[in-house]
Amino acid sequence: MTVRADPIAGRYELVDEIRSGGMGQVWRGYDAVLDREVAVKLIRPDVVYSAARAEEFARRFRREARITARIQHHGVPQVYDAVLDTTYDRVYLVMEYVRGTPLRAYVDPARPLPVGWAAAIAAQICTVLSHAHAIPVVHRDLKPDNVLVSDTGAVKVLDFGIAAILGTDVTRLTGTGHMIGTHHYMSPEQIQGGPITPQSDLYALGCVLHELLSGRTLFDGANDFQLMRQHVDEPPPPLRRLRPDVPEALERAVLALTAKVPEQRPRDAYDVYEQLLPLLPAPGSAPPQRGHLPAGVPDPTLMYRRPNAPRPRTPTPPSATPPASRPACGDPATALRAAIDDAVAHSGDLLVQGRYTQAAEALWQVIEPAAAALGVDHPRVLSLRQRRAATLVIGGDVRRALPEFDALHTAFARTGGPADHDALACLRQAAHCRAELGEATLALRQFRQVLTHVQATEGDVSTDALELRRDICRLLLSEGDLGQAAAELVPLHQDLALLYGPGHEETREIAEILTRLRITGDGTR
């Protein structure tokens, strides 16, 4: 049944409503231009309410959609388009249409899922996460409602990047004191407002696997606040108490995935896959007995012959430092100056268009000849490399940017000293990259190193100092060091209140985190 007579953007016709949820409605649609079925998500109207908000959303969508599109894996439906109504009261995301059975249909406390089935589903999710986290893209809202199983048993993970696009991945207190967010699968650091990393997705995966095997959620608090406290403070119930036939190795894997501190969880999705591999049916084996499983539910083990294994783990790429050469005498040639100016201008134009990979490549093309002519430590060469590394970060490619910022920090410190402005800027950028990649301990150390220099020259309440103090507090929350986080959040809140007033957005954000700490029972008052 066609509900909308006029196609959206002149090409997308809405046919049937598939489902509705917290972010909006999803429709099966038809793309008249490309002659294919599509899924059209109508984002809830309160996301966009003005022209300025629409422009902000469009910029965020284009960036996140481009990053998400780099997940080259058949288990990730692609996002094709974003359409903003001219009245700014409706936003449509157009995506690949996937036919399948929601994973929620597999959860039934009266009919526990066979261990092999649960392992096959989790292992396939691991293959998807391994490709996404290598970029890195973090799902932020992994749950049974966002997973489909196709008729062939292939797992499809939906809505990658949607939480980041909408800016709804962090639980917040509303004016009435109610919480917004999905609490049954939310990691402790997510609840506390800390950085969201690949380990946050692994925690959600642990919650999903526990639910598939036991038929019940990891925690069953009577309300959202109780659920949050359980995720932050209470140890998860061992699976074998709920279901004795679960193998001990699988119980240990789920307990590791649901560790409170991110760095105590498995290193990555590849490690989790390796733990699940012995539990999967062997190639060529007969399908397991369906037993009491619901009729029509696809068997996730049928297609599992390991053609969909995770991508091989690759080492951290080396810094893109050009080869050393003898510095040229005198000023660089006119042709080289012109080439550098053209490359910077062209890269800037590409950035405006959101073509980040090409913008970084345009700079790299001139960095090599510039280094050969001027020397690798020449200020112009280092400036070009710094611009390129920043471009990689803007494009979401922090894994490639990190070694370059490390190398640049060393180069600037060598030429200008450890307190050099550019050296500290690169060290700070390296810390941000590490925080996003889940390397919280080293990121925290680097942020503190930069803060020490900033406090010595600018004081404790400069703009840079306040930003660094916030970054440090978020990482402390991520590591589960709630006492130290509270000890640093309280004076930060006091300083922000004095500088900006208690009603300022930044002041209220810190007050909100302190409120969460009290809710979860760390004793802060």
- For the segment 89-118, the average pLDDT, to the nearest whole number, is 87
All structural domains of the chain: 12-96 (3.30.200.20), 101-279 (1.10.510.10), 379-519 (1.25.40.10)
pLDDT category at 24 given cuts 50, 70, 90 is confident
Residue 394 near residue 347, CB atoms below 8 Å? no
pLDDT category at 291 given cuts 50, 70, 90 is low
| pLDDT of amino acid 32 | 85
| Main-chain phi, psi angles of 261, to 5 degrees | -95, 130
- For the segment 347-354, the average pLDDT, to the nearest whole number, is 88
Cα(109)–Cα(51) distance, integer angstroms: 48
| pLDDT of amino acid 173 | 37
Answer whether residue 130 shows pLDDT above 80: yes
Residue whose tokens read 């494009």: 395
| pLDDT of amino acid 151 | 83
Q: What percent of the chain has pLDDT over 70?
A: 82
Return the top range by mean pLDDT from 54-58, 289-293, 349-353, 430-434.
Answer: 430-434
| pLDDT of amino acid 326 | 43
Cα(212)–Cα(201) distance, integer angstroms: 16
Alpha helices in 96-195 (DSSP H): 115-133, 162-166, 188-191
How is residue 16 written in tokens? 């049937």
pLDDT category at 7 given cuts 50, 70, 90 is confident
| pLDDT of amino acid 299 | 83
For residue 387, give the H/E element and its range.
Answer: helix 379-394
| pLDDT of amino acid 86 | 66
Residue 403 near residue 393, CB atoms below 8 Å? no
Higher pLDDT, 279 or 172: 279
| pLDDT of amino acid 176 | 37
Cα of first residue to Cα of last residue in the chain, in angstroms, is 56
pLDDT category at 47 given cuts 50, 70, 90 is low
- For the segment 5-11, the average pLDDT, to the nearest whole number, is 82
Answer whether residue 189 shows pLDDT above 90: yes
Residue 17 near residue 25, CB atoms below 8 Å? yes
At 201, which amino acid appears? D
pLDDT by residue (tens digit) across 303-345?
A: 764 455 565 566 555 555 444 444 444 455 688 889 999 999 9
| pLDDT of amino acid 175 | 36
- For the segment 454-470, the average pLDDT, to the nearest whole number, is 95
Q: 41-50, 267-276, 304-313: which range is least confident on average?
A: 304-313
Catalytic residue among 141, 159, 397, 464: 141
Residue 228 near residue 516, CB atoms below 8 Å? yes
User: Which DSSP letter does residue 8 get?
Assistant: B
- For the segment 444-464, the average pLDDT, to the nearest whole number, is 95
Q: 1-5, 10-14, 69-73, 229-233: which range is least confident on average?
A: 1-5
| pLDDT of amino acid 172 | 41
- For the segment 471-490, the average pLDDT, to the nearest whole number, is 93
| pLDDT of amino acid 465 | 96
Cα(217)–Cα(97) distance, integer angstroms: 28
| pLDDT of amino acid 263 | 93
Answer whether residue 373 shows pLDDT above 70: yes
| pLDDT of amino acid 169 | 42
**How many helices (DSSP H) and strands (DSSP E) are in the chain?**
18, 10
pLDDT by residue (tens digit) across 376-430?
A: 999 999 999 999 999 999 988 999 999 999 999 999 999 999 999 999 999 999 9
| pLDDT of amino acid 324 | 43
pLDDT by residue (tens digit) across 54-84?
A: 677 767 767 777 777 788 898 998 888 878 7
Cα(300)–Cα(254) distance, integer angstroms: 19
Alpha helices in 174-301 (DSSP H): 188-191, 198-214, 224-233, 239-242, 248-257, 269-276
CA separation, residue 82 to residues 28, 44, 260, 299 (Å): 15, 14, 37, 34
Q: 95-104, 108-117, 297-306, 509-518: which range is least confident on average?
A: 297-306
Higher pLDDT, 18 or 217: 217
522 catalytic residue (yes or no): no
DSSP 409-477: HHHHHHHH-TT-HHHHHHHHHHHHHHHHHT-HHHHHHHHHHHHHHHHHHH-SSSHHHHHHHHHHHHHHH
- Torsional sign, CA 145, 101, 257, 230: positive
Average pLDDT of the chain, as a whole number: 85
| pLDDT of amino acid 316 | 53
| pLDDT of amino acid 496 | 95
| pLDDT of amino acid 356 | 87
- For the segment 77-98, the average pLDDT, to the nearest whole number, is 78
For residue 373, give the H/E element and its range.
Answer: helix 356-374
Residue 373 near residue 328, CB atoms below 8 Å? yes
